[in-house]
Amino acid sequence: MVPAIIFVVLLVVQAAIVMHAANVAHHVAAQGAMAAARHGSSQEQALTSISTAATSVGARMAAPPVITTTANEVTVRIWVALPRAIPVFIEQVSREVSVPRERYVAYSDR
């Protein structure tokens, strides 16, 4: 009976870790996407923003971020590594955020 209770407790802890990591991954991806979508910004600025956001929340990146830029939007995909309380659970979680690119309109064109 006791091993079953311990397993259930570990299962609940691992589920909380996964949900927290998903929120962290979304936050980091959103910060990178917003930085990359600014008018005149570069992918280096987005990578710096991703690194800063990941460090501020204590996230450990499982893979390098992927930044895709089109004429109208920027998409950032992030993979965050998870600590595991139960060995059979997933090792990483990923999130993707897309934001529209900021367009500069000259005052005379408004």
Distance CA 68, CA 75 (A): 5
Q: Residue 63 forms beta bridges with which residues?
A: 79
Nearest to 46 by CA among 24, 72, 73, 76: 76
Residues 16-46 have pLDDT tens digits of 999 999 999 999 999 999 999 998 888 899 9
What pLDDT shows up at residue 73? 94
How many domains does the structure of the chain reveal? Answer: 1
Residues 75-97 have pLDDT tens digits of 999 999 998 878 888 899 999 99
pTM for this predicted structure: 0.86
Question: What range does the domain containing 47 cover?
Answer: 2-109
- The 10 Å Cβ neighbour count of residue 61 is 16
Nearest to 97 by CA among 23, 40, 19: 23
CA quadruple 102, 79, 48, 60: dihedral, nearest 10? 150
Distance CA 23, CA 103 (A): 28
